[in-house]
Amino acid sequence: MRAPLSWIREFAPIEAEPSAIAEALDRLGLEVEAIETPGREIVGVRVARALEVRKHPNADKLSLVEVDYGDGTTTVVCGAPNVVAGMVVAFAPSGATLPGGFTLEKRKIRGETSDGMLCSARELGLGDDHEGIMSLGEGSALGTDVRDVLGLHDVVFDLSITPNRPDAMSVIGIARELAAHFDVVLNISEPENTTAGSRTADDISVEIEAIDACPRFTARRIAVTMGASPVWMQQRLALAGMRSISNVVDVTNYVMLERGHPLHAFDLSRLPGRGIIVRLAREKETLTTLDGVPRILTPVDLLVCDAQGDGQAIAGIMGGSQAEVQTSTTEVLLEAAYFTPMGISKTSKRLGLRSEASARFERGVDPNGVLAASTRAAQLLIEVAAAQVAPEPIDVYPEPVQREKISVRTARVNAILGLDLSAEWIKDSLTPLGIAIEVDATLDDGFIAVAPTYRPDLEREIDIIEEVGRRVGLDEIPRTLPHTTEQGGGLTVRQRERRLVTDVLVGMGCSEAMTVPLIAPDDVAAIGLDPDCTVRASNALRSEEPVLRPSLIPGLLRAAAYNAGLSRADLALFEVGHVFLPPVGDELLPDERDRLAVLIAGTVRRAPVELDRPVDVHDVTEIIDALSVALELADLRLEAGPAPGFHPTRSAAVLVDGESIGHVGEIAPGVGERVGVGRPLVALEVDLDALLDGIRRQRTFVPLSRFPTSSVDLAFVLGDGVSAGAVQATLTATGGELLEHVYPFDEFRPGGRSRSVAFALCFRAADRTLTDSEVAEVRQECIDAVVRVHGAEFRT
């Protein structure tokens, strides 16, 4: 909403500086996005008349315009199609300066000299309209500074109005707020229902078939003389960012800006049956709106139709082209109505059609301000369009909207705001906003606030409390801190452990990535998952990436690819985040889980201290081990086996307490190459909660034995498919309490035969020095167990 200061001052005589007014608007919740003084940088732009318009000899889309600027005539090249001889325009001669500090010079355009330019509204800093040259209308002497004609000395506040404040979508609404704030009187004279120049009784009809969507509809029959609106009206419209169309259309827009109530004028002669029917649209009914676009409608859309039932406007959003007011119009039907917000909002959203009118109706205009708006328009039409107005409008309003009566408790106001205001202060603060106060004897310490119908946001006590807060100034309320003594702050064990997981990964050299969870179906298929068994967004703007990731790996691969493109192929990334699996059973929401994934690629750079080497699976298994140690997991094991997306013989399932929680290993050949990431590429992905749910090691203290150890080395020939980890687990189990630790220290494949793995075992008893025979006994048990369980061959 663009509100010119001079217009605001018409209703509220505020003397404060523009900067102080802007600050007040912010404090009131009418956020100032910009304070504009359009004329500040404009120098030397003058009123001129186009005397003659000729085709440019060397360019189809340009014309040569001869202008009279009062002190003489000159020629400019112009590209706008709307310039015609006789038009009064804003002429910026060479030497003139436009907003942005741009100074014009005489120059040749396609061989013809242009002595300056003709300006569009946007070029003068008046809104966004740059479709054509701005027409100034008659009445100003040629040569006059356009700043005087257009009121460009004015200050315009560009406000961002929240959806709950229809009233602030109008100059009067803004003036009301400021008048209350600056404690000045608000002067709004209710327009008198004038019959000046009236000549005919009404012979038009109004019928509302959809009373829920249109509780009120008024129509006035007005004879008009079409023409341009006066300069003062054009000025204000321009400052408010609207284009001047014709006196009749300008009046409807002017009243909308002034009072926040959209109006519509139909050409009565092109409204068959001379009447109105308001009804819901039929399925697939079409209507061409005045922007020339055919709109396909549904039964939720509300139509304003002629008396024969043909749609003439999409109610509250945009008129149709058939009954549009044009230069030949002599009589109009002026609509002023109240359409309910919900319907306007739905239709506007569905059609993607937003207008100044819909922005107001969907917030909720004042149902009881309808007639005043219509009367104000009639008054203005008499003034600017020599209108003859029928004495009384037709007003269909079967169930008038009543003002809300709201009980307000003083104590409650103070309890919510943290203040100690008196009932009198509160009441006095509300009345300038149009809220009436009534006494309620049943209330001990309170009153009744009667909300004006232009404030549909005021329905409940809390709404009134907010108004009091705004009147005090939310920023003026003394700041305190709550007493949070009843509950201690802190992280849960699970939250602390999640931090620990991240810390371990960082400590292991991985950096945390955050990837976009919406991915392409192909990325899902590439890691061996079924893209049809995923959860998808239904309206993703990037329609090629609609899948909610079922795995973190594709995102990390994309991140690796991004870095490979930057010649940063060596990387170790991890991500902790949600994945989305189809809902379980008849759940509505997806099976959403927290996962942890690591992706390591390229070369481990150690030169010149050690040798460089390509990354390998051990770079990720050591991360698994580090997590297991940090979390003190009692039973985390790897079990060799294939997994989707992983190399068939170089991957393993991660088992916690015997249950698989994810996979680790080399990424399957081709997966990285597909997105431009070379091998080697190793990864792990586990379910984070399943990891953290793992049973933890006993923390009971075991006395530290002071007796000597006995070391034993055992080597076994292992068949295919027997993992060292499994053999180690068997040794650990068999060695029992006497086995202090065991680790593999050698692996070799003698001449292409099965591989041999050697383990170092260290025995120690808690209470004695182990004898040679005791050691021999447990050694033999270990050998026997491995041979028996794994079919291994003991190497002597």
Q: What character string, x for contact with another protein (CB under 8 A) and - otherwise, covers 392-421?
A: -----------------------xxxxx--
CB of 578 vs another protein, minimal distance in Å: 5
d(CA 364, CA 788): 83
> Which one among 211, 290, 448, 537 touches another protein, defined by CB under 8 A?
537
Q: What are phi and psi of 346, to 5 degrees?
A: -65, -50
In whole angstroms, the minimum distance from the beta carbon of 552 to another protein comes to 12
Give me 219's structure tokens.
Answer: 């129509």
- Only one of the segments 509-517, 633-641, 687-695, 717-725 lies at the binding site for another protein (rule: CB under 8 A); that segment is 509-517
704 makes contact with another protein (CB under 8 A): no
Q: How far is the CB of 191 from another protein (least distance, A)?
A: 29
Q: Does 514 bind another protein (CB under 8 A)?
A: yes
296 part of the interface to another protein, by CB under 8 A: no
Verify binding: residue 60, another protein, rule CB under 8 A: no
For the bound state, the minimum distance from the C-beta of residue 19 to another protein, rounded and expressed in Å, comes to: 11
DSSP H/E element including 507:
helix 493-507
Q: How far is the CB of 178 from another protein (least distance, A)?
A: 14
Q: How far is the CB of 528 from another protein (least distance, A)?
A: 23
- Assess 541 for contact with another protein (CB under 8 A): yes
Does position 40 interact with another protein (CB under 8 A)? The reply is: no
Residues 546-585 that bind another protein (CB under 8 A): 548, 559, 562-563, 566, 568, 570-574, 577-578, 580, 583
Give the closest residue to 553 by CA, choosing from 693, 692, 677. 677
Strand blocks (E) in 226-308: 263-267, 275-280, 286-288, 294-296, 302-306
Q: Which is nearer to another protein, 336 or 601 (CB)?
A: 601
Neighbours of 473 (CB within 10 A): 12
Considering only 513, 596, 664, 731, the residue that binds another protein (CB under 8 A) is 513
Q: Name the minimum Å distance from CB 194 to another protein.
A: 36
User: Is 535 one of the binding residues for another protein (CB under 8 A)?
Assistant: yes
Q: How far is the CB of 440 from another protein (least distance, A)?
A: 18
SS3 180: helix
List C-alpha distances in Å: 713 to 758, 770, 777: 7, 16, 14
**Residue 30: CB atoms within 10 Å:** 22
267 binds another protein, rule: CB under 8 A: no
CB 469 within 8 A of CB 477: yes
Q: Which is nearer to another protein, 151 or 469 (CB)?
A: 469
Residue numbers 148-187 binding another protein by CB under 8 A? 162-165
CA 575, chain centre distance (Å)? 26
Query: Which one of 469, 645, 665, 680 is in contact with another protein (CB under 8 A)?
Result: 469
Position among 508, 524, 643, 691 found at the interface with another protein (CB under 8 A): 508
Q: Interface with another protein includes 505 (CB under 8 A)?
A: yes
Complex with another protein: residue 100 or 489, whichever CB lies closer: 489
Contact segment (CB under 8 A) with another protein among 106-114, 189-197, 269-277, 588-596 equals 588-596
Does position 20 interact with another protein (CB under 8 A)? The reply is no
Spatial separation of the C-alpha atoms in residues 486 and 711, rounded to whole Å: 58
Does the protein bind another protein through residue 510 (CB under 8 A)?
yes
Please pick, from the candidates 189, 480, 700, 796, the single residue that binds another protein as defined by CB under 8 A: 480
Is 239 among the residues that bind another protein (CB under 8 A)?
A: no
CA nearest neighbour of 531 among 558, 557, 550 = 550
Residue 19's contacts (CB-CB under 8 Å, 6 or more residues apart) are: 35
19 touches another protein by CB under 8 A: no
Interacting residues with another protein between 318 and 347 (CB under 8 A): 341-342, 345-346
Quote the CA–CA distance of 531 and 740 in Å, as a whole number. Answer: 49
DSSP state of 584: S
Should residue 482 be labelled a site residue for another protein when binding is judged by CB under 8 A? yes
The DSSP secondary-structure symbol of 602 reads: S
Q: Is 780 in the site for another protein (CB under 8 A)?
A: no
Does the footprint of another protein cover residue 9 (CB under 8 A)?
no
- Minimum distance of another protein from residue 127's CB (angstroms): 20
Please select the residue that binds another protein; options are 13, 29, 44, 79, rule is CB under 8 A. 29
Report how far apart, in Å, the C-alpha atoms of 319 and of each of 197, 216, 646 are.
28, 18, 62
CB of 708 to another protein, least distance (A): 16
CA distance 73 to 68: 4
Compute the Cα dihedral for 614, 616, 620, 623 and give only its sign. negative
Nearer to another protein, 398 or 489 (CB): 489
How many residues bind another protein (CB under 8 A)? The answer is 96
Residues 599-628 that bind another protein (CB under 8 A): 604-610
Which is closer to another protein, CB of 212 or CB of 659? 212
Is 533 near another protein (CB under 8 A)? no
- Chain CA centroid to CA 457, Å: 23
In angstroms, what is the minimal distance from the CB of 674 to another protein? 18
Please state, in angstroms and rounded to a whole number, the distance separating the CA atoms of residues 427 and 430: 5
* For another protein, the closer CB: 72 or 608: 608
Q: Does 495 bind another protein (CB under 8 A)?
A: yes
Within residues 439-468, the interface with another protein by CB under 8 A covers 460, 462-463, 465-466
Q: Where are the alpha helices (DSSP H) in 569-695?
A: 617-631, 671-674, 688-692
Interacting residue with another protein among 509, 678, 719, 736 (CB under 8 A): 509
Q: 340: closest CA among 428, 218, 178, 212?
A: 212
User: Could you say which of 141, 584, 589, 704 contacts another protein (CB under 8 A)?
Assistant: 589
Q: Which CA distances in Å does 184 have to 172, 181, 351?
A: 14, 8, 43
Find the binding residues for another protein in span 421-440 (CB under 8 A). none
Rounded-to-integer distance, Cα 314 and Cα 303, Å? 5
Taking the complex as a whole, the smallest distance from the CB of residue 635 to another protein amounts, in Å, to: 27
Q: How far apart are the two ends of the chain, measured CA to CA in Å?
A: 92
Smallest gap from residue 357 Cβ to another protein (A): 14
84 binds another protein (CB under 8 A): no
CA distances from 493 to 193, 486, 692 (A): 73, 20, 10
Among 363, 595, 637, 663, binds another protein (CB under 8 A): 363
Q: What is the C-alpha to C-alpha distance for residues 273 and 221, in angstroms, rounded to an integer?
A: 13
Comparison of 182 and 562: residue with beta carbon closer to another protein: 562
689 touches another protein (CB under 8 A) = no
Helix (H) or strand (E) segment spanning residue 206? strand 205-208
Tokens 């094991």 belong to residue: 637
Alpha-carbon span 574 to 506, nearest angstrom: 9
Structure tokens at 434: 């149009």
Q: Residue 643 Cβ, how far from another protein at the closest point, in Å?
A: 24
In whole angstroms, give the CA distance from residue 23 to residue 324. 41
Q: Is 388 left (phi over 0), alpha (psi -120 to 50) or beta?
A: beta
CB of 306 or CB of 362, closer to another protein: 362
Q: Which C-beta is closer to another protein: that of 183 or that of 610?
A: 610
Q: Which one-letter amino acid corresponds to residue 195?
A: T
677 near another protein, rule: CB under 8 A:
no
The residue assigned the tokens 């000549």 is: 199
Q: Nearest distance from residue 475's CB to another protein, in Å?
A: 5
- Residue written as token pair 């990535």: 513
